[in-house]
Every structure is written in structure tokens, then in C-alpha cells.
Amino acid sequence: MTKPLLLIDVDGPLNPYAAQPERRPAGYTTHRMRPSGWTETRPLRVWLNPGHGEELRALAEAYELVWATTWKDEANDWIGPRLGLPELPFVDWPEMHGAAPHGTFWKTAYVLEYAQGRPFAWVDDDITSHDRAHVKRNHSAAALLLHVDPRLGLLRPDFDALADWAAAL
């Protein structure tokens, strides 16, 4: 049996970028990065929690992990190694930040295309009720769309919800 997908956004779920500036959340370490899309003079500040790598590796028993982030394949260079993750497949967005139907997030249609009818869980800070309704109408398999507060990142209840959802399939 094929595992469900776990589609992982970086900024928000893994990097709580919206936390108070200069006040790194407990358990996180600060990294300075220069992914190819970063054009600022100063490196990008990214907060990562090493414990998230352990949690995601545990979820890999039940899921196929996939990057679903604007970092695309660069998540394998900049994020994965710092969390102890192996190289993961990624959603290669045909267009980023474009228009989306019915008030949905621009990633939603591409997520459905990538999933190709497979069950999936998706963690992102931009998921709304419009995205949930769109997925319910347009995806025949089970789907869990888990909104993550970008001030907090993934928390214990989020990992528990992901594990419970996969176990219930």
C-alpha cells in the first residue's frame, strides 16, 4: 500500500518567521542563509527547531515526506541537513504567487495536481477554509490541511494530529 503524502512548507511551520523579531522561540536555533531567490544584502534569518527533524523522521514511517515550499529543491540544501532529514522530493511550482481560483491559496491547485488522487496531509501557514472546501470538492482521497501559526511553528499537537490522521487511514 502506498503511504499518504506529507507536504511540508518551510516558512511558518518549520521557520516561525512571524514570531517577535529578535526573540527566537524556545527550542529554535538561528541560521543565516542565502538561497538563490534571496536578493537582500544581508543573509536571511531562519529559525529551526532540531526536534522537528526527529518528529518528521518518525512521521516518515507513515508518510512519504515532500517539500511543499517556495524553497523548492533548495530546502534539501538549506533546511533538511539542519534538521537531519534525507533529501526529499519537492513540489516544483510551475508559477509562484500567482492568482488562484475561488479565494484559495496559490499553492492549493498545484498541491492537488501533485497528489494525483493520493491521500495527503499538508502543513502550511496560508491554508484557509477556502482551501479546505476546494480540496473537499476536487480531491477524491482523504486530505488533512493543517494550518500552522507562523508565530509558533509546528507544535506537539500538530505532530500528534498528523500521526493520528495517518493511523486512521
> What value does the mean pLDDT take over residues 1-25?
92
What's the pLDDT score for residue 100?
75
In this predicted model, what pLDDT tens digit does every residue of 51-62 receive, in sequence order? 999 999 999 999
Q: What is the pLDDT of residue 96?
A: 67
More confident residue, 24 or 168: 168
pLDDT at 151: 95
The answer to whether residue 47 scores a pLDDT higher than 80 is yes
Residue 39's pLDDT band (boundaries 50, 70, 90)? confident
Q: Give the pLDDT confidence of 62-115 residue by residue, as tens digits.
A: 999 999 999 999 999 999 999 999 999 999 988 767 777 778 888 999 999 999
pLDDT for residue 109: 92
Most confident of 26-35, 39-48, 56-65: 56-65
Q: Please give the span between the terminal C-alpha atoms of the chain, in angstroms, as a whole number.
A: 11
Q: What percent of the chain has pLDDT above 90?
A: 81
Distance (Å, rounded) from C-alpha 25 to C-alpha 61?
28
Q: What is the pLDDT of residue 63?
A: 98
